[in-house]
């Protein structure tokens, strides 16, 4: 059995502070074999820097994923160079920096593959291709690999894309988890053929914000055609959203449990 703690999008300094506060004790309590997190919003809500990535790794994060906002800071080149345990969406063209999957060796527990794809609907990204073909290609190429688990993250705006993709690969992956909307969903379950699924893990960051943005900025945007640039909410309560996966094979999972905390 492999236990994976998978953390939702970490947003800015409030998110990093929440990780520092929650993760050490959570690791002691749940004893995960690996901790994974989406870090595309790590630096003030947009993109990530080498400094902020190293910071959250020091708190106990072992492996990271990077969605569409990773390109917003020039550090993406170094972060995706292979020096750091970070992947980006697999459905980008091959000449884009980084890679869409990686295999982590957990010693006696075996090897786990993590992969990521990005949705097409409402993402304002014309570069990505469809999601299904890249996943199929990775799975085909890894057929002979000795893998104890395969986890897919779908970074997408629409739940329909996430659900349809998860059902398409049900029984071929250990788990499929969604990110990007920053709102935790209550649909965690084991699918008919054994794969675990949740539409969106949620986020780690300021609770009383609009997905990490100061609410008054978005409220002004709703009222007028002009608004100040986005700025992160630094004050108030923070939320910490994650899921705990218990994987028993490369194509099935025994349990998926939401972890939602307010600090």
| Catalytic machinery residues | 69
User: What is the distance in angstroms between the CA of the first residue and the CA of the last residue of the chain?
Assistant: 31
Beta partners for residue 232, in sequence order: 213
Residue with token string 């893990």:
201
- Alpha carbon of residue 30 to chain centroid: 19
Beta partners for residue 262, in sequence order: 239
> Which DSSP category does 241 fall into?
E
Cβ count near 137 (within 10 Å): 12
Instruction: Pull the structure tokens for residue 23.
Output: 């993760």
Helices (H), ranges, 152-226: 159-168, 215-223
Query: Are residues 3 and 244 in contact, defined by beta-carbon separation less than 8 angstroms?
Result: yes
């Amino acid at each position: 059995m492999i236990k994976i703690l998978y953390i939702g999008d970490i947003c800015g300094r409030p998110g990093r502070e929440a990780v520092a506060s929650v993760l050490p004790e959570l690791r002691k309590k749940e004893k995960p074999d690996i901790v994974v997190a989406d870090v595309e919003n790590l630096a003030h809500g947009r993109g990530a820097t080498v400094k902020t990535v190293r910071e959250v790794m020091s708190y106990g994060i072992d492996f990271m994923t990077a969605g569409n906002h990773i390109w917003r800071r020039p550090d993406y080149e170094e972060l995706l160079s292979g020096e750091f345990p970070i992947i980006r969406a697999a459905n980008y063209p091959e000449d884009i920096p980084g890679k869409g999957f990686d295999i982590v060796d957990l010693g006696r527990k075996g090897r786990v593959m993590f992969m990521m794809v990005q949705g097409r609907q409402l993402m304002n990204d014309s570069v990505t291709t469809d999601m299904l073909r890249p996943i199929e290609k990775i799975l085909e190429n890894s057929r002979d690999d000795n893998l104890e688990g395969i986890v897919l993250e779908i970074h997408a705006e629409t739940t329909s894309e996430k659900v349809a993709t998860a059902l398409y690969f049900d029984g071929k992956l250990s788990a499929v988890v969604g990110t990007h909307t920053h709102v935790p969903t209550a649909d965690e379950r084991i699918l008919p053929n054994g794969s675990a699924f949740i539409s969106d893990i949620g986020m780690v960051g300021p609770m009383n914000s609009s997905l990490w943005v100061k609410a008054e900025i978005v409220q002004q945007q709703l009222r007028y055609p002009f608004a100040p640039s986005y700025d992160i909410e630094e004050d108030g309560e923070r939320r910490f959203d994650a899921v705990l996966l218990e994987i028993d094979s490369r194509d099935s999972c025994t349990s998926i449990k939401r972890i939602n905390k307010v600090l």
